[in-house]
Homo-oligomer: A and B are copies of this chain.
Amino acid sequence: MASNEVFQYSIISALMDGVASHGTPIARVLKHGDHGLGTFHNMEGEMIVLDGEVYQMKADGSTIHIKPDETVTPFATVTFFRPTVTTRGTVTGKAGLKDLLTGLFPKARNHFLIVRMDGVFKTIKVRTAGGQCRPRESMVDVCSRQTTHTFEEVKGTIVGFRCPEYVMGVNVAGDHFHFISEDRQRGGHILSFETAGDVDIAAAQMVKFHMELPTEDDEFNEAELKLQAQGIKAVEG
């Protein structure tokens, strides 16, 4: 696949509906991208894909460097990221990043963005999903037990996407970021953050979108994938 094209496996609505028992090998996902995010079997932990390496950030605070051939993902979004815009700056939280991205890409309201930030973060609060207690447990229920961690003065990388409003349900509309520390020991789904000073920001606009749906997966086939926009905003926003 060419650079800066979105690839996703399955849809966020399936996760909302608890479809997470099966998945596609992460090695297959990596054929479509080297940066991105997602989750794992039974929604255990948060996935970040960085420079082609995949990490599982778990609720107990541990992080596992994943072997792509041996692990599946029920939902992931990746791209072969080649930045078209790079800058340095201080970013105050998700609201600051939102404004920054909108300023960098004023005509991308209805397109996708990929963003990566490298630097020192004054504070960064993440959540990690601890996994399903039973098959088909919904993502809202899984996230009701989510663990949060707050890191201070931590060096690391944020990777994430901005998706246009109209893909809500297929993916997460709006901004969605994961973080991993430079030592690859800590991270998760970002709830809030603030930079300690200037960080490196790299981003690209994306106009091509590719989606592959699960096959031979009865959980997926039987799920009633109704739009749960409020639920998605609550757990992924």
Contact between chains at B208 and A213 (CB < 8 Å): yes
Give the segment of A114-122, A150-158, A161-169, A175-183 that binds chain B: A161-169
A77 contact set on B, CB distance < 8 A: none
Chain A interfacial residues counted at CB < 8 A: 32
Q: Which residue of the partner chain B has the closest CB to A210? A: B210
Which residues of B sit under 8 angstroms from A13, Cβ to Cβ? Answer: 166
| A225 and B110 form a contact (CB under 8 A) | yes
A196 in contact (CB, < 8 A): no
Residues of B within 8 A of A211 (CB): 208-211
Check A212–B221 contact: CB distance below 8 A: no
Nearest CB of B to A120, in Å: 35
Extra contacts besides A110-B223, A208-B210 (11): CB < 8 Å: A107-B218, A108-B221, A110-B220, A111-B213, A165-B226, A165-B227, A208-B211, A208-B213, A209-B211, A209-B213, A211-B211
Contact A110 B227 (CB under 8 A): no
A170 close to B (CB within 8 Å): yes
List of B residues within 8 angstroms of A185 by Cβ:
none
A225's partner among B166, B207, B212 (CB-CB below 8 A) is B166
Q: What residue of chain B has the Cβ atom nearest to residue A218's Cβ?
A: B107
| Assembly stoichiometry (copies) | 2
Give the CA-CA distance A93 to B15 in the complex, in Å. 35
Q: Of the candidates B165, B170, B207, B208, which one forms a contact with A166 in the assembled complex, judged by CB atoms under 8 Å apart?
A: B170
Q: Is the CB of A110 within 8 A of B213?
A: yes
Contacting residue for A110 out of B110, B207, B209, B221, CB 8 A: B221
| Distance (whole angstroms) from the CB of A216 to the closest CB of chain B | 9
- The residue in A14, A165, A226 that gathers the most chain B C-beta atoms within 10 A of its C-beta is A165
Interface string of A193-236 (1 = CB under 8 A from B): 00000000000000111111111001011110111000000000
Instruction: Judge if A126 is at the interface, Cβ distance under 8 Å.
Output: no
The verdict on A113 contacting chain B, using a C-beta distance below 8 Å, is no
Residues in chain B near residue A166, CB distance under 8 A: 11, 13, 169-170, 225-227
Interface presence of A109 (CB below 8 A) = yes
Determine the chain B residues whose CB is within 8 A of the CB of A169 once the complex forms. Answer: 166
